[in-house]
Chain A
Amino acid sequence: MEQKEVLFGKTLDELKVVVKEMGLPGFSAGQIADWLYKKKAGSIEEMSNLSKKARAQLSERFDMGLTPSSKVQTSADGTKKYLFPAHKNLFVEAAYIPEEDRKTLCVSSQVGCKMGCLFCMTGKQGFQSQLTAGEIINQVRSIDESDLLTNVVYMGMGEPMDNIEEVLKSLQILTSDWGFAWSPRRINVSTIGVVPAMRRFIEESEAHLAISMHSPFDEERKKLMPIQQVYTIEQVIETLRDYDFGRQRRISFEYIMFDGINDTAAHVKGISKLLNGLRCRINLIKFHPIPDSPLRGTPHERMVWFSEQLNKKGLVTTIRRSRGEDIYAACGLLSTKTLVKKDEQQDY
Protein backbone atom coordinates (compact mmCIF):
# COMPACT_ATOMS: atom_id res chain seq x y z
CA MET A 1 0.00 0.00 0.00
CA GLU A 2 1.27 3.45 -0.86
CA GLN A 3 2.21 5.47 2.21
CA LYS A 4 0.14 8.54 2.81
CA GLU A 5 1.70 11.97 3.20
CA VAL A 6 1.68 13.41 6.69
CA LEU A 7 0.14 16.67 7.85
CA PHE A 8 2.14 17.21 11.02
CA GLY A 9 5.24 19.19 10.10
CA LYS A 10 3.67 21.18 7.26
CA THR A 11 4.06 24.93 7.35
CA LEU A 12 1.11 27.27 6.79
CA ASP A 13 2.29 27.92 3.24
CA GLU A 14 2.41 24.21 2.54
CA LEU A 15 -1.05 23.76 4.03
CA LYS A 16 -2.34 26.54 1.77
CA VAL A 17 -1.13 24.56 -1.22
CA VAL A 18 -2.81 21.43 0.14
CA VAL A 19 -6.20 23.09 0.63
CA LYS A 20 -6.00 24.73 -2.77
CA GLU A 21 -5.26 21.40 -4.43
CA MET A 22 -8.21 19.85 -2.63
CA GLY A 23 -10.59 22.67 -3.54
CA LEU A 24 -11.13 23.66 0.12
CA PRO A 25 -11.59 27.30 1.14
CA GLY A 26 -8.30 29.18 1.67
CA PHE A 27 -8.96 29.84 5.37
CA SER A 28 -9.06 26.12 6.13
CA ALA A 29 -5.23 26.09 5.94
CA GLY A 30 -5.15 28.26 9.08
CA GLN A 31 -7.76 26.06 10.72
CA ILE A 32 -5.71 22.92 10.05
CA ALA A 33 -2.56 24.58 11.38
CA ASP A 34 -4.52 25.51 14.49
CA TRP A 35 -5.58 21.91 15.06
CA LEU A 36 -2.10 20.57 14.39
CA TYR A 37 -0.03 22.94 16.46
CA LYS A 38 -2.30 24.74 18.96
CA LYS A 39 -5.28 22.58 19.72
CA LYS A 40 -3.13 19.47 19.47
CA ALA A 41 -5.63 17.32 17.68
CA GLY A 42 -4.78 13.62 17.71
CA SER A 43 -6.56 12.86 14.46
CA ILE A 44 -7.98 14.52 11.37
CA GLU A 45 -11.44 13.50 12.60
CA GLU A 46 -11.04 15.86 15.59
CA MET A 47 -10.74 18.92 13.32
CA SER A 48 -14.40 19.74 13.97
CA ASN A 49 -14.57 23.12 12.28
CA LEU A 50 -13.74 21.51 8.93
CA SER A 51 -16.66 20.03 7.06
CA LYS A 52 -17.15 16.29 7.24
CA LYS A 53 -16.40 16.11 3.54
CA ALA A 54 -13.17 18.08 3.97
CA ARG A 55 -12.06 15.77 6.76
CA ALA A 56 -12.83 12.72 4.63
CA GLN A 57 -10.88 14.24 1.74
CA LEU A 58 -7.93 15.01 3.99
CA SER A 59 -7.95 11.54 5.54
CA GLU A 60 -7.88 9.96 2.13
CA ARG A 61 -4.58 11.63 1.29
CA PHE A 62 -2.95 12.27 4.64
CA ASP A 63 -2.04 10.71 7.96
CA MET A 64 -1.61 12.98 10.96
CA GLY A 65 2.04 11.95 11.26
CA LEU A 66 2.17 11.86 15.05
CA THR A 67 4.36 9.10 16.42
CA PRO A 68 4.28 8.06 20.08
CA SER A 69 7.55 7.20 21.76
CA SER A 70 8.41 3.52 21.77
CA LYS A 71 10.38 3.53 25.01
CA VAL A 72 10.99 5.83 27.96
CA GLN A 73 13.77 5.60 30.52
CA THR A 74 13.81 7.74 33.62
CA SER A 75 17.03 8.71 35.33
CA ALA A 76 17.52 9.01 39.08
CA ASP A 77 17.54 12.82 38.75
CA GLY A 78 14.25 12.97 36.83
CA THR A 79 15.75 13.26 33.37
CA LYS A 80 13.79 11.16 30.91
CA LYS A 81 15.01 9.68 27.69
CA TYR A 82 12.38 9.06 25.03
CA LEU A 83 13.01 6.87 22.02
CA PHE A 84 11.03 7.62 18.88
CA PRO A 85 10.83 5.25 15.96
CA ALA A 86 12.29 6.66 12.76
CA HIS A 87 13.38 5.44 9.35
CA LYS A 88 13.93 1.66 8.77
CA ASN A 89 13.53 0.29 12.29
CA LEU A 90 15.88 2.86 13.72
CA PHE A 91 15.08 5.35 16.41
CA VAL A 92 16.07 8.76 17.64
CA GLU A 93 16.21 10.09 21.16
CA ALA A 94 14.84 13.11 22.92
CA ALA A 95 15.86 13.93 26.49
CA TYR A 96 13.50 15.73 28.85
CA ILE A 97 15.45 17.62 31.50
CA PRO A 98 13.39 19.09 34.34
CA GLU A 99 14.97 21.81 36.46
CA GLU A 100 13.43 24.12 39.01
CA ASP A 101 13.06 27.11 36.76
CA ARG A 102 12.86 25.46 33.36
CA LYS A 103 11.86 22.27 31.64
CA THR A 104 13.98 21.57 28.61
CA LEU A 105 13.65 19.07 25.81
CA CYS A 106 16.76 18.12 23.88
CA VAL A 107 15.70 17.00 20.39
CA SER A 108 17.40 15.07 17.62
CA SER A 109 17.65 16.39 14.09
CA GLN A 110 19.04 13.35 12.24
CA VAL A 111 19.22 9.59 12.67
CA GLY A 112 22.92 9.10 13.25
CA CYS A 113 25.35 11.75 12.10
CA LYS A 114 27.97 12.22 9.37
CA MET A 115 30.34 14.40 11.32
CA GLY A 116 32.33 11.70 13.09
CA CYS A 117 33.35 13.62 16.22
CA LEU A 118 35.71 11.45 18.21
CA PHE A 119 33.90 11.80 21.53
CA CYS A 120 30.36 11.17 20.32
CA MET A 121 28.18 8.08 20.49
CA THR A 122 25.89 9.31 17.72
CA GLY A 123 28.94 9.79 15.51
CA LYS A 124 29.81 6.13 16.06
CA GLN A 125 26.60 5.11 14.34
CA GLY A 126 27.50 6.89 11.15
CA PHE A 127 24.68 8.51 9.25
CA GLN A 128 21.35 6.79 8.76
CA SER A 129 18.86 9.36 7.61
CA GLN A 130 17.49 12.88 7.90
CA LEU A 131 14.52 13.67 10.10
CA THR A 132 11.68 15.66 8.58
CA ALA A 133 10.44 18.83 10.28
CA GLY A 134 7.41 16.78 11.39
CA GLU A 135 9.63 14.15 13.00
CA ILE A 136 11.59 16.85 14.82
CA ILE A 137 8.48 18.62 16.12
CA ASN A 138 6.87 15.28 16.95
CA GLN A 139 9.44 14.92 19.72
CA VAL A 140 8.20 18.17 21.27
CA ARG A 141 4.58 17.25 20.82
CA SER A 142 4.59 13.58 21.79
CA ILE A 143 6.36 13.50 25.15
CA ASP A 144 4.24 13.29 28.30
CA GLU A 145 5.54 16.66 29.48
CA SER A 146 4.88 18.51 26.22
CA ASP A 147 2.69 21.13 27.92
CA LEU A 148 5.27 21.77 30.64
CA LEU A 149 8.15 22.56 28.30
CA THR A 150 9.79 25.96 28.59
CA ASN A 151 12.79 25.36 26.32
CA VAL A 152 13.88 23.26 23.38
CA VAL A 153 17.49 22.64 22.49
CA TYR A 154 18.62 21.02 19.23
CA MET A 155 21.49 19.14 20.81
CA GLY A 156 20.43 15.53 20.45
CA MET A 157 21.44 13.15 17.71
CA GLY A 158 22.72 14.72 14.52
CA GLU A 159 24.15 17.99 13.32
CA PRO A 160 21.24 20.39 12.80
CA MET A 161 23.08 22.36 10.11
CA ASP A 162 23.47 19.20 8.05
CA ASN A 163 19.67 19.06 7.83
CA ILE A 164 19.16 22.78 7.58
CA GLU A 165 15.99 22.83 5.44
CA GLU A 166 14.02 20.64 7.82
CA VAL A 167 15.49 22.27 10.92
CA LEU A 168 14.52 25.75 9.67
CA LYS A 169 11.05 24.47 8.87
CA SER A 170 10.70 22.97 12.34
CA LEU A 171 11.81 26.29 13.87
CA GLN A 172 9.26 28.12 11.75
CA ILE A 173 6.51 25.86 13.06
CA LEU A 174 7.65 26.25 16.66
CA THR A 175 7.89 30.05 16.51
CA SER A 176 5.17 31.22 14.09
CA ASP A 177 1.89 32.68 15.29
CA TRP A 178 0.04 29.99 13.35
CA GLY A 179 2.29 27.30 14.90
CA PHE A 180 3.34 26.73 18.49
CA ALA A 181 3.93 30.49 18.79
CA TRP A 182 6.98 30.06 21.02
CA SER A 183 9.48 32.84 21.39
CA PRO A 184 12.67 31.95 19.48
CA ARG A 185 14.49 32.88 22.69
CA ARG A 186 13.27 29.63 24.18
CA ILE A 187 15.11 27.65 21.54
CA ASN A 188 18.80 26.93 21.23
CA VAL A 189 20.30 25.22 18.19
CA SER A 190 23.74 23.71 18.33
CA THR A 191 26.29 23.26 15.58
CA ILE A 192 29.85 22.13 15.18
CA GLY A 193 30.20 24.96 12.65
CA VAL A 194 29.08 23.97 9.17
CA VAL A 195 29.59 27.52 7.97
CA PRO A 196 27.30 27.89 4.91
CA ALA A 197 24.30 26.35 6.68
CA MET A 198 25.12 28.24 9.87
CA ARG A 199 24.86 31.49 7.87
CA ARG A 200 21.40 30.48 6.69
CA PHE A 201 20.38 29.66 10.23
CA ILE A 202 21.61 33.01 11.51
CA GLU A 203 19.81 34.88 8.75
CA GLU A 204 16.56 32.93 8.65
CA SER A 205 15.94 32.20 12.33
CA GLU A 206 16.02 34.16 15.56
CA ALA A 207 16.81 31.22 17.84
CA HIS A 208 19.93 31.13 19.98
CA LEU A 209 23.05 29.48 18.62
CA ALA A 210 25.43 27.17 20.49
CA ILE A 211 28.73 26.32 18.83
CA SER A 212 30.73 23.26 19.79
CA MET A 213 34.29 24.43 20.13
CA HIS A 214 36.05 21.79 22.26
CA SER A 215 39.47 23.14 21.31
CA PRO A 216 40.78 26.51 20.14
CA PHE A 217 43.73 24.87 18.40
CA ASP A 218 43.63 23.75 14.80
CA GLU A 219 45.69 20.57 15.02
CA GLU A 220 43.93 19.36 18.15
CA ARG A 221 40.41 20.22 17.00
CA LYS A 222 41.08 18.41 13.71
CA LYS A 223 41.63 15.18 15.62
CA LEU A 224 38.57 15.65 17.80
CA MET A 225 36.26 16.97 15.09
CA PRO A 226 36.93 16.24 11.40
CA ILE A 227 34.80 19.28 10.41
CA GLN A 228 37.84 21.38 11.31
CA GLN A 229 39.47 20.14 8.07
CA VAL A 230 37.07 22.25 6.05
CA TYR A 231 35.47 24.84 8.34
CA THR A 232 37.87 25.90 11.04
CA ILE A 233 36.73 27.31 14.36
CA GLU A 234 38.45 30.57 13.37
CA GLN A 235 36.25 30.75 10.27
CA VAL A 236 33.17 29.98 12.33
CA ILE A 237 33.96 32.85 14.66
CA GLU A 238 34.84 35.18 11.80
CA THR A 239 31.45 34.37 10.31
CA LEU A 240 29.74 35.27 13.59
CA ARG A 241 31.51 38.61 13.57
CA ASP A 242 29.73 39.43 10.29
CA TYR A 243 26.43 39.70 12.13
CA ASP A 244 24.83 41.89 14.72
CA PHE A 245 22.99 39.58 17.06
CA GLY A 246 21.38 42.31 19.12
CA ARG A 247 21.09 42.01 22.86
CA GLN A 248 18.46 39.32 23.01
CA ARG A 249 19.92 36.64 20.82
CA ARG A 250 22.53 34.51 22.52
CA ILE A 251 25.69 32.97 21.13
CA SER A 252 27.33 30.37 23.30
CA PHE A 253 30.23 28.01 22.95
CA GLU A 254 30.07 24.44 24.21
CA TYR A 255 33.32 23.08 25.50
CA ILE A 256 33.47 19.42 26.54
CA MET A 257 36.44 18.98 28.84
CA PHE A 258 38.85 16.12 28.19
CA ASP A 259 41.33 15.30 30.89
CA GLY A 260 44.86 16.39 30.04
CA ILE A 261 43.87 17.32 26.51
CA ASN A 262 41.97 20.57 26.23
CA ASP A 263 42.06 21.78 29.83
CA THR A 264 45.40 23.60 30.12
CA ALA A 265 46.42 27.23 30.62
CA ALA A 266 47.34 27.37 26.93
CA HIS A 267 43.74 26.52 26.11
CA VAL A 268 42.46 29.33 28.31
CA LYS A 269 44.70 31.70 26.39
CA GLY A 270 43.73 30.21 23.04
CA ILE A 271 40.01 30.53 23.77
CA SER A 272 40.25 34.10 24.97
CA LYS A 273 42.25 35.11 21.91
CA LEU A 274 39.76 33.44 19.60
CA LEU A 275 36.69 35.01 21.22
CA ASN A 276 38.23 38.41 21.75
CA GLY A 277 35.45 41.02 21.75
CA LEU A 278 32.67 38.61 20.80
CA ARG A 279 29.61 38.85 23.05
CA CYS A 280 29.09 35.25 24.06
CA ARG A 281 29.21 32.80 26.90
CA ILE A 282 31.05 29.53 27.34
CA ASN A 283 29.53 26.36 28.75
CA LEU A 284 32.02 23.89 30.12
CA ILE A 285 30.67 20.37 29.97
CA LYS A 286 31.83 17.34 31.85
CA PHE A 287 32.67 14.45 29.55
CA HIS A 288 31.32 11.04 30.45
CA PRO A 289 33.48 8.49 28.69
CA ILE A 290 31.73 6.54 26.00
CA PRO A 291 32.62 2.88 25.46
CA ASP A 292 36.07 2.34 23.91
CA SER A 293 36.90 6.03 23.96
CA PRO A 294 40.51 7.15 24.44
CA LEU A 295 39.20 10.29 26.16
CA ARG A 296 38.50 10.86 29.86
CA GLY A 297 36.60 13.67 31.51
CA THR A 298 38.47 16.49 33.28
CA PRO A 299 38.04 16.26 37.08
CA HIS A 300 35.59 18.74 38.58
CA GLU A 301 38.22 20.79 40.46
CA ARG A 302 40.15 21.31 37.26
CA MET A 303 36.97 22.40 35.50
CA VAL A 304 36.37 24.95 38.24
CA TRP A 305 39.93 26.23 37.81
CA PHE A 306 39.50 26.42 34.05
CA SER A 307 36.25 28.30 34.45
CA GLU A 308 37.86 30.79 36.85
CA GLN A 309 40.73 31.40 34.45
CA LEU A 310 38.31 32.14 31.63
CA ASN A 311 36.25 34.40 33.90
CA LYS A 312 39.41 36.30 34.73
CA LYS A 313 39.88 36.91 31.03
CA GLY A 314 36.41 38.47 30.98
CA LEU A 315 34.64 35.47 29.46
CA VAL A 316 31.29 34.53 30.98
CA THR A 317 31.69 30.87 31.75
CA THR A 318 29.44 28.31 33.37
CA ILE A 319 29.95 24.69 34.23
CA ARG A 320 26.96 22.81 32.92
CA ARG A 321 25.50 20.41 35.35
CA SER A 322 25.32 17.02 33.80
CA ARG A 323 21.99 15.35 33.92
CA GLY A 324 20.77 11.86 33.23
CA GLU A 325 24.21 10.31 33.25
CA ASP A 326 22.84 6.90 34.06
CA ILE A 327 20.78 6.80 30.90
CA TYR A 328 23.29 8.51 28.63
CA ALA A 329 21.07 11.52 28.18
CA ALA A 330 23.67 14.25 28.39
CA CYS A 331 22.93 16.54 25.47
CA GLY A 332 25.24 16.12 22.54
CA LEU A 333 26.12 12.71 23.85
CA LEU A 334 22.83 10.96 23.41
CA SER A 335 23.29 7.41 22.42
CA THR A 336 21.23 4.56 21.24
CA LYS A 337 23.91 2.28 22.65
CA THR A 338 23.05 -0.53 20.28
CA LEU A 339 24.82 0.27 17.08
CA VAL A 340 23.10 -0.71 13.90
CA LYS A 341 24.79 -2.46 11.06
CA LYS A 342 25.21 -0.28 8.06
CA ASP A 343 24.74 -1.14 4.45
CA GLU A 344 27.83 0.74 3.43
CA GLN A 345 30.04 -1.58 5.47
CA GLN A 346 30.21 -3.82 2.42
CA ASP A 347 32.29 -1.09 0.78
CA TYR A 348 35.27 -1.53 3.02
Chain B
Amino acid sequence: MSQPVRRKKEVFPTKVLSNTEITPGVFSIEVERLHDFIPGQVVAAAINTSDPLRLYSIASGKEQPFLRLLYDVKPGGLLTPQMARLQKGDTLYVSAPFGRFTKAPDDAWWIATGTGIAPFLSMAESGQTQGPTLLQGARYLTQFYYADFFKTAFGERYLRFCTAEEHPEVIHGRLTNYLKESDAVQAGRKYYLCGNANMVVDVRDLLLERGVPFENIVAEIYF
Protein backbone atom coordinates (compact mmCIF):
# COMPACT_ATOMS: atom_id res chain seq x y z
CA MET B 1 0.00 0.00 0.00
CA SER B 2 1.51 3.29 -1.04
CA GLN B 3 1.86 5.96 1.59
CA PRO B 4 -0.97 8.46 1.77
CA VAL B 5 -0.47 12.03 0.67
CA ARG B 6 -2.24 13.57 3.66
CA ARG B 7 -2.99 11.42 6.64
CA LYS B 8 -4.77 13.87 8.85
CA LYS B 9 -6.35 17.27 8.70
CA GLU B 10 -3.80 20.01 9.31
CA VAL B 11 -4.08 21.65 12.72
CA PHE B 12 -2.67 24.96 13.92
CA PRO B 13 -1.60 25.97 17.42
CA THR B 14 -3.79 28.58 19.10
CA LYS B 15 -3.48 30.17 22.51
CA VAL B 16 -6.27 29.65 25.01
CA LEU B 17 -7.80 32.99 26.04
CA SER B 18 -10.24 31.55 28.58
CA ASN B 19 -11.75 28.21 29.55
CA THR B 20 -14.80 28.54 31.76
CA GLU B 21 -17.00 25.87 33.34
CA ILE B 22 -20.40 27.37 32.58
CA THR B 23 -22.31 24.60 34.31
CA PRO B 24 -20.97 21.45 35.99
CA GLY B 25 -19.14 19.42 33.35
CA VAL B 26 -19.74 21.87 30.49
CA PHE B 27 -17.09 24.32 29.36
CA SER B 28 -16.86 27.26 27.03
CA ILE B 29 -13.34 27.65 25.71
CA GLU B 30 -12.19 30.71 23.79
CA VAL B 31 -8.98 30.59 21.77
CA GLU B 32 -7.22 32.94 19.37
CA ARG B 33 -9.05 33.01 16.11
CA LEU B 34 -6.98 32.05 13.06
CA HIS B 35 -9.51 31.68 10.25
CA ASP B 36 -12.72 33.06 8.85
CA PHE B 37 -15.68 30.70 8.92
CA ILE B 38 -19.33 30.37 8.09
CA PRO B 39 -21.58 30.04 11.15
CA GLY B 40 -22.55 26.38 11.51
CA GLN B 41 -19.09 25.09 10.64
CA VAL B 42 -16.92 22.92 12.85
CA VAL B 43 -13.22 22.65 13.65
CA ALA B 44 -11.20 19.56 14.47
CA ALA B 45 -9.23 19.90 17.70
CA ALA B 46 -6.50 18.17 19.70
CA ILE B 47 -4.09 18.91 22.50
CA ASN B 48 -1.51 16.36 21.36
CA THR B 49 -1.14 16.48 17.60
CA SER B 50 -0.48 12.73 17.47
CA ASP B 51 -3.94 11.97 18.89
CA PRO B 52 -7.00 11.50 16.71
CA LEU B 53 -8.84 14.77 16.23
CA ARG B 54 -12.26 15.51 17.69
CA LEU B 55 -14.83 17.79 16.06
CA TYR B 56 -16.50 20.82 17.68
CA SER B 57 -19.04 23.25 16.33
CA ILE B 58 -17.88 26.83 16.40
CA ALA B 59 -19.97 28.67 18.99
CA SER B 60 -18.82 32.26 18.39
CA GLY B 61 -19.88 34.87 15.89
CA LYS B 62 -18.07 35.45 12.63
CA GLU B 63 -17.07 38.98 13.65
CA GLN B 64 -15.97 38.08 17.15
CA PRO B 65 -12.20 38.27 17.68
CA PHE B 66 -11.93 34.82 19.29
CA LEU B 67 -13.03 31.29 18.42
CA ARG B 68 -15.35 29.76 20.99
CA LEU B 69 -16.19 26.08 21.45
CA LEU B 70 -18.74 24.64 23.82
CA TYR B 71 -17.99 21.16 25.09
CA ASP B 72 -19.08 18.71 27.74
CA VAL B 73 -16.53 16.58 29.48
CA LYS B 74 -16.91 12.91 28.63
CA PRO B 75 -15.52 10.89 31.52
CA GLY B 76 -12.87 8.53 30.18
CA GLY B 77 -12.76 10.45 26.90
CA LEU B 78 -9.51 11.17 25.14
CA LEU B 79 -9.75 14.92 24.65
CA THR B 80 -12.42 16.60 26.76
CA PRO B 81 -11.04 15.69 30.25
CA GLN B 82 -7.68 17.17 29.17
CA MET B 83 -9.32 20.12 27.48
CA ALA B 84 -11.10 20.97 30.75
CA ARG B 85 -7.69 21.44 32.39
CA LEU B 86 -6.42 23.96 29.83
CA GLN B 87 -5.68 27.42 31.18
CA LYS B 88 -5.15 30.83 29.70
CA GLY B 89 -1.95 30.80 27.63
CA ASP B 90 -1.98 27.02 27.02
CA THR B 91 -2.09 25.67 23.47
CA LEU B 92 -4.99 23.98 21.71
CA TYR B 93 -4.55 22.77 18.15
CA VAL B 94 -7.45 23.50 15.80
CA SER B 95 -8.02 22.89 12.11
CA ALA B 96 -9.37 25.35 9.59
CA PRO B 97 -13.17 25.47 9.79
CA PHE B 98 -15.16 23.09 7.60
CA GLY B 99 -18.62 21.54 7.35
CA ARG B 100 -21.90 22.39 5.71
CA PHE B 101 -24.46 22.83 8.44
CA THR B 102 -24.74 26.38 7.29
CA LYS B 103 -27.03 28.86 5.62
CA ALA B 104 -30.19 28.20 7.62
CA PRO B 105 -32.85 30.45 6.11
CA ASP B 106 -34.33 33.20 8.27
CA ASP B 107 -37.66 31.50 8.87
CA ALA B 108 -36.07 28.21 9.94
CA TRP B 109 -36.67 26.48 13.24
CA TRP B 110 -33.50 25.64 15.08
CA ILE B 111 -33.78 22.63 17.38
CA ALA B 112 -31.03 21.66 19.81
CA THR B 113 -30.13 19.69 22.90
CA GLY B 114 -26.99 19.90 25.00
CA THR B 115 -23.96 21.42 23.33
CA GLY B 116 -25.87 21.09 20.05
CA ILE B 117 -26.80 24.70 20.71
CA ALA B 118 -23.28 25.73 19.60
CA PRO B 119 -23.85 26.27 15.86
CA PHE B 120 -27.01 28.24 16.60
CA LEU B 121 -25.11 30.41 19.05
CA SER B 122 -22.63 31.09 16.25
CA MET B 123 -25.40 31.97 13.80
CA ALA B 124 -27.10 34.23 16.34
CA GLU B 125 -23.84 35.87 17.43
CA SER B 126 -23.23 36.54 13.74
CA GLY B 127 -26.39 38.58 13.58
CA GLN B 128 -29.00 36.04 12.47
CA THR B 129 -31.58 36.75 15.15
CA GLN B 130 -34.53 38.33 13.39
CA GLY B 131 -36.30 35.35 11.84
CA PRO B 132 -35.45 31.98 13.33
CA THR B 133 -37.20 30.27 16.21
CA LEU B 134 -34.97 28.38 18.62
CA LEU B 135 -36.30 25.31 20.43
CA GLN B 136 -34.07 23.78 23.03
CA GLY B 137 -34.61 20.71 25.17
CA ALA B 138 -32.82 19.87 28.41
CA ARG B 139 -33.19 17.81 31.53
CA TYR B 140 -32.10 20.58 33.92
CA LEU B 141 -32.41 24.35 33.83
CA THR B 142 -28.64 24.85 33.98
CA GLN B 143 -28.35 23.12 30.60
CA PHE B 144 -29.82 26.07 28.71
CA TYR B 145 -26.42 27.49 27.96
CA TYR B 146 -26.26 31.19 27.02
CA ALA B 147 -29.95 31.54 27.89
CA ASP B 148 -29.59 35.24 28.74
CA PHE B 149 -28.14 35.97 25.33
CA PHE B 150 -30.86 34.02 23.52
CA LYS B 151 -33.63 35.58 25.63
CA THR B 152 -32.49 39.04 24.61
CA ALA B 153 -31.84 38.12 21.00
CA PHE B 154 -34.92 35.96 20.29
CA GLY B 155 -37.52 36.99 22.86
CA GLU B 156 -40.70 35.00 22.22
CA ARG B 157 -38.97 32.93 19.59
CA TYR B 158 -36.78 31.22 22.18
CA LEU B 159 -38.64 28.18 23.50
CA ARG B 160 -37.07 26.10 26.23
CA PHE B 161 -38.35 22.69 27.29
CA CYS B 162 -37.19 21.20 30.55
CA THR B 163 -38.11 17.66 31.53
CA ALA B 164 -36.95 17.55 35.17
CA GLU B 165 -37.32 21.07 36.58
CA GLU B 166 -39.83 23.91 36.46
CA HIS B 167 -39.32 27.61 35.86
CA PRO B 168 -41.79 30.34 34.85
CA GLU B 169 -39.94 31.14 31.62
CA VAL B 170 -39.48 27.52 30.59
CA ILE B 171 -42.00 25.00 29.33
CA HIS B 172 -42.11 22.02 31.67
CA GLY B 173 -42.18 18.93 29.51
CA ARG B 174 -40.68 17.44 26.46
CA LEU B 175 -39.72 19.17 23.28
CA THR B 176 -40.94 16.12 21.40
CA ASN B 177 -44.42 16.44 22.92
CA TYR B 178 -44.58 20.02 21.75
CA LEU B 179 -43.58 19.01 18.24
CA LYS B 180 -46.22 16.28 18.29
CA GLU B 181 -49.00 18.69 19.14
CA SER B 182 -48.16 22.25 18.19
CA ASP B 183 -50.06 23.93 15.34
CA ALA B 184 -46.96 25.98 14.71
CA VAL B 185 -45.23 23.00 13.07
CA GLN B 186 -45.50 23.74 9.36
CA ALA B 187 -44.46 21.53 6.50
CA GLY B 188 -43.10 24.34 4.37
CA ARG B 189 -40.32 25.64 6.56
CA LYS B 190 -36.81 24.35 7.17
CA TYR B 191 -35.86 22.61 10.38
CA TYR B 192 -32.24 22.62 11.48
CA LEU B 193 -31.46 19.98 14.11
CA CYS B 194 -28.26 19.67 16.08
CA GLY B 195 -27.19 17.40 18.93
CA ASN B 196 -26.88 13.72 19.70
CA ALA B 197 -28.15 11.05 17.35
CA ASN B 198 -31.05 10.00 19.53
CA MET B 199 -32.56 13.48 19.62
CA VAL B 200 -32.02 14.08 15.93
CA VAL B 201 -33.61 10.78 14.94
CA ASP B 202 -36.60 11.16 17.29
CA VAL B 203 -37.27 14.76 16.27
CA ARG B 204 -36.87 13.98 12.58
CA ASP B 205 -39.36 11.10 12.86
CA LEU B 206 -41.83 13.39 14.59
CA LEU B 207 -41.49 16.10 11.98
CA LEU B 208 -41.96 13.53 9.22
CA GLU B 209 -45.07 12.29 11.00
CA ARG B 210 -46.34 15.86 11.10
CA GLY B 211 -46.03 16.01 7.31
CA VAL B 212 -42.74 17.86 6.99
CA PRO B 213 -41.00 16.53 3.87
CA PHE B 214 -37.57 15.09 4.58
CA GLU B 215 -36.02 17.65 2.23
CA ASN B 216 -36.88 20.33 4.79
CA ILE B 217 -35.00 18.67 7.63
CA VAL B 218 -31.28 19.30 7.95
CA ALA B 219 -29.42 17.59 10.77
CA GLU B 220 -25.97 17.73 12.28
CA ILE B 221 -25.20 14.82 14.57
CA TYR B 222 -22.50 14.84 17.23
CA PHE B 223 -21.46 11.26 16.66
Contact = CB atoms under 8 A, between A and B. Distances in A.
Contacts of B152: none
Contacts of B5: 242
B218 interface: yes
Nearest to A343: B198
Interface string B131-165: 00000011100010000000000000000010110
A294 B1 contact: no
B221 A218 contact: no
Interface in A210-227: 218, 222-224, 226-227
Given A116-B201, A123-B201, A226-B220, A348 B174 contact: yes
B152 to A, nearest CB: 24
Given A196-B52, A202-B1, A203-B4, A118 B204 contact: yes
Main secondary structure of the interface of B (DSSP, over half): mixed
Interface in B155-214: 161, 163-164, 174-176, 195-205, 208-209, 213-214
A16 to B, nearest CB: 25
A135 to B, nearest CB: 19
A338 interface: no
B221 A116 contact: yes
A223 B217 contact: yes
Interface stretch (B16-24, B28-36, B61-69, B97-105): B97-105
B177 to A, nearest CB: 10
B137 to A, nearest CB: 3
A216 to B, nearest CB: 15
A244 B181 CA distance: 54
B198 A115 contact: no
Point out which of A115, A202, A226 has the most chain B C-beta atoms below 10 A from its C-beta.
A226
A208 to B, nearest CB: 14
A203 B53 CA distance: 17
A162 interface: yes
B223 A348 contact: no
Contacts of A55: none
Nearest to B197: A114
Interface in A123-170: 123-124, 126-127, 159, 162
Contacts of B1: 202-203, 206, 243-246
B85 interface: no
Contacts of B217: 223
Contacts of B215: 223
Nearest to B196: A344
A116 B101 contact: no
B99 A230 contact: yes
Contacts of B55: 230
A346 interface: yes
Interface string A228-240: 1110100000000
Contacts of B52: 196
Contact of B198 (A127, A223, A229, A243): A127
Interface in B4-52: 4-9, 42, 52
B122 interface: no
A348 B202 contact: yes
Nearest to B99: A230
Contact of B223 (A162, A223, A243, A344): A162
A113 interface: yes
B26 to A, nearest CB: 13
Nearest to A218: B100
A348 B99 contact: no
A229 B101 contact: yes
B10 to A, nearest CB: 13
B221 A344 contact: no
Contacts of A295: 214
A292 B197 contact: no
Contacts of A242: 4-6
Contacts of A162: 223
A123 B200 CA distance: 10
B198 A345 contact: yes
A222 B218 contact: yes
A348 B213 contact: no
14 contacts: A115-B223, A116-B197, A123-B201, A196-B52, A223-B214, A223-B217, A226-B221, A242-B5, A244-B2, A292-B209, A294-B214, A346-B139, A347-B138, A348-B138
Given A116-B219, A222-B218, A229-B218, 8 more contacts: A114-B221, A127-B198, A202-B4, A227-B221, A229-B221, A232-B100, A346-B163, A348-B138
Interface of B: 1-2, 4-9, 42, 52-53, 55, 98-101, 113-114, 137-139, 143, 161, 163-164, 174-176, 195-205, 208-209, 213-215, 217-221, 223
Pairs of residues from A and B, 8 with the lowest C-beta to C-beta distance, nearest first:
A348-B137, A126-B198, A114-B223, A114-B197, A244-B2, A226-B219, A348-B113, A229-B101
